[in-house]
Structure 1
Amino acid sequence: MSVTQLNIKEDKKPAAKKASVVAFVPPASSAPYRAKFMKAVRRAALQILPPVIMLAVILLVWQLLCSSPTSSLPSPGRVLHESWELIAHPFHVGQGVDQGMFWHILASLQRVAIGYAIAVVVGVALGALVGQSVWAMRGLDPIFQVLRTVPPLAWLPLSLAAFRDGSPSAIFVIFITAIWPIIINTAVGIRNIPQDYQNVAKVLRLNGFEYFGKIMLPAAAPYIFTGLRIGIGLSWLAIVAAEMLIGGVGIGFFIWDAWNSSLISDIIVALIYVGVVGFFLDRLIAFVGRLVTRGTANA
């Protein structure tokens, strides 16, 4: 066998496998994620624990003060016992005004929604007019200042005489209650528009509608939503008082009917519902305000 053949055979031999070396990459540390999670938990605890603790203290004091058999007001335990059917069956449907709490609140919210929506449209329009025009401010502002001092329920007899029906009368009371803070805050916001914005509108030669939609409303939006938050709170207060007088299905009439029936526990449950719904209405308007104004409205 020649030397050349030996070399060819040696080349055909399989090469020895090299040991593969795999580099060890340590997993990413989870410490930053744990730190962020714990920070979020602490932040949530600081927001939730104080009201929970205060609520527990209030319930404890209430229980101690009203646990006596001679107490004229029921204790929390007694309220829960006497009004359990009302709490456990909010969707109950009966005859006439014998409805669950959900339906009473829904009827009140429908009246508030209609009256408040009308107040928003009219109030923003009048506020923009008063804020933009000096003559309108001089002519209308004194009238607004006089009318806004009239208590809401003082309008109810007049509205009953005009509409001859309870529901439209309550809607009118909502409207006349909510419109004043909307007008005033809108006018203040329009008057506080920077002069630079007005100069830009003149340079761009915007017409009245373009100026209103692109300059006035965005610039005055924080003020407008402040008025809207005040208006929704006053609306919810007014509907409860108005429904006590007009009757029918509604949270206000429910409270008055429970008083006539000496159901104090039911009144307390209804007041809790009123407060919770009012809280969520305020937070809803505040949330919409933050979205529209990109966080510049008061939270």
Structure 2
Amino acid sequence: MVAAVFHLPREADIAAPIPAVHAQAKPLAVAPSSEAPAAAAQPVKAPRAPRDFSGLWLRIVPPLLGFGLLLLVWELVAARSSGSFPGPRETWAQAVTVFSDPFYSNGPNDQGVGWNVLASLQRVAVGFGLAALVGIPAGFAVGRSVFLARMFNPLISLLRPVSPLAWLPIGLLVFKGANPAAIWTIFICSIWPMVINTAVGVQRVPQDYMNVARVLDLSEWKILTRILFPAVLPYMLTGVRLAVGTAWLVIVAAEMLTGGVGIGFWVWDEWNNLNVKNIIIAIFVIGIVGLLLEMALVKLATAFTFEEVKS
């Protein structure tokens, strides 16, 4: 005999919802109609954000206002001088004539403004280069040695405030020539910023770096190239930038006294000819060249400087 057992469903089982079987089924893929446009399947592009011109406005408008103020003051001074002082329009017309042929040569005392600027830059490059070759190693030596620092600090403090033109007669007496004397004047006035800034940079190297070098028993050359030079580089480049500015200032004054070809001699020669327009043009040329030198050295300094020093 087979006994059949039947289990009656409980109330909870009756009340439980029956799962929908069709919800688990995957939707059938419908083939796209050939009549639907192809552009409907492409995503919609987000609207482009408006550009912020506030930074550009702050970079352009204030310098233009500054130049406009300069031209206004210049025009007022020229108007009150009764024609003895040229205004912006007359100077601009003369500048167009001067720069139409900047490299003409009619003898040693009559050359274009281009040749005069190149001659001055050549003297600055030679004098500044000699100052860098002597001043930067001297700064490292003074910064590393307490004995040398105590030995040369009084001499630097004594000679650094001397006017650049005071060194020119010494150069004329020693070198017997105007061009070497001008280079000597640039050299002696450009060396102090490089010596001082390099020495200060060496003295401000953290002592922990030197302790590690002493523990590792590094040679003096490795200490110089691996530790000191990267740490001192920002200070050294600051000294180089100050030295270039000093050299460009000195060469103009030195060439006024020594003569020959150069932007300083050109200014003095135009004054002797009572050509005030060319003097004003020379002032702008000197300023623009100095600005370009400064910008080039700032770019060089930021390229080889750490991020915290750049800011």
Q: Which TM-score applies when normalising by structure 2?
A: 0.83
Structure 1 residue 166 corresponds to structure 2 residue 178:
yes
Distance in 2 of aligned mates of 1:69 and 1:185:
46
Q: Secondary structure at the match of 1:86?
A: helix
Once the two structures are TM-superposed, the CA of residue 27 in structure 1 deviates from its matched residue by 5.0
CA contact (8 A) 1:289 1:295 kept: no
Structure 1 residue 240 corresponds to structure 2 residue 257:
no
Once the two structures are TM-superposed, the CA of residue 78 in structure 1 deviates from its matched residue by 2.0
Structure 1 residue 210 corresponds to structure 2 residue 222:
yes
Distance in 2 of aligned mates of 1:160 and 1:31:
68
Alignment of 1:38-57 (within 5 A): 38-39=51-52, 41-57=53-69
CA contact (8 A) 1:226 1:297 kept: no
Task: Give the superposed CA RMSD.
Answer: 2.0
Q: What residue is the counterpart of 1:99 in the other structure? A: 111
Q: Secondary structure at the match of 1:293?
A: coil
Distance 1:241 1:66, change over 3 A: same
Q: What residue is the counterpart of 2:33 in the other structure? A: 19
Distance in 2 of aligned mates of 1:27 and 1:237:
62
Once the two structures are TM-superposed, the CA of residue 45 in structure 1 deviates from its matched residue by 2.7
Once the two structures are TM-superposed, the CA of residue 296 in structure 1 deviates from its matched residue by 4.7
Structure 1 residue 73 corresponds to structure 2 residue 85:
yes
One-letter code of the match for 1:193? Answer: V
Distance 1:225 1:256, change over 3 A: same
Per-residue CA deviation, residues 100-131 of structure 1 (Å, 9 max, x unaligned), is: 21111111011111111111121111111111
Distance in 2 of aligned mates of 1:30 and 1:264:
58
Per-residue CA deviation, residues 153-175 of structure 1 (Å, 9 max, x unaligned), is: 11111111111111111111111
Distance 1:30 1:96, change over 3 A: farther
Is the helix fraction higher in 1 or 2?
1
> Could you tell me which of 6, 22, 31 is aligned with 2:48?
31
Distance in 2 of aligned mates of 1:247 and 1:30:
66
Distance 1:101 1:159, change over 3 A: same
Task: Calculate percent identity across the aligned residue pairs.
Answer: 41
Q: What residue is the counterpart of 1:275 in the other structure? A: 287
Distance 1:282 1:161, change over 3 A: same
Structure 1 residue 135 corresponds to structure 2 residue 147:
yes
One-letter code of the match for 1:204? Answer: L
Distance in 1 of aligned mates of 2:87 and 2:110:
25
- Structure 2 residue ranges without an equivalent (≥5): 1-30
One-letter code of the match for 1:25? Answer: Q
Distance 1:248 1:295, change over 3 A: farther
Q: Secondary structure at the match of 1:67?
A: helix
> Could you tell me which of 124, 131, 140 is aligned with 1:119?
131
CA contact (8 A) 1:222 1:296 kept: no
Aligned length: 278
One-letter code of the match for 1:19? Answer: S
Q: Secondary structure at the match of 1:29?
A: coil
Once the two structures are TM-superposed, the CA of residue 236 in structure 1 deviates from its matched residue by 0.3
- Structure 1 residue ranges without an equivalent (≥5): 1-16
Once the two structures are TM-superposed, the CA of residue 295 in structure 1 deviates from its matched residue by 4.2
One-letter code of the match for 2:41? Answer: F
Q: Secondary structure at the match of 2:195?
A: helix
Q: What residue is the counterpart of 1:87 in the other structure? A: 99
Distance in 2 of aligned mates of 1:18 and 1:80:
72
Distance 1:74 1:201, change over 3 A: same
Q: Secondary structure at the match of 1:150?
A: coil
Q: What residue is the counterpart of 2:298 in the other structure? A: 286
The structure that has the greater radius of gyration is 2
Runs of 4+ in 1 over 4 A off after TM superposition: 20-23, 295-299
Q: Secondary structure at the match of 1:46?
A: helix
Once the two structures are TM-superposed, the CA of residue 140 in structure 1 deviates from its matched residue by 0.7
Once the two structures are TM-superposed, the CA of residue 69 in structure 1 deviates from its matched residue by 6.0
One-letter code of the match for 2:148? Answer: A
Q: Which TM-score applies when normalising by structure 1?
A: 0.87
Per-residue CA deviation, residues 201-240 of structure 1 (Å, 9 max, x unaligned), is: 2233221111111111111111111111111111000000
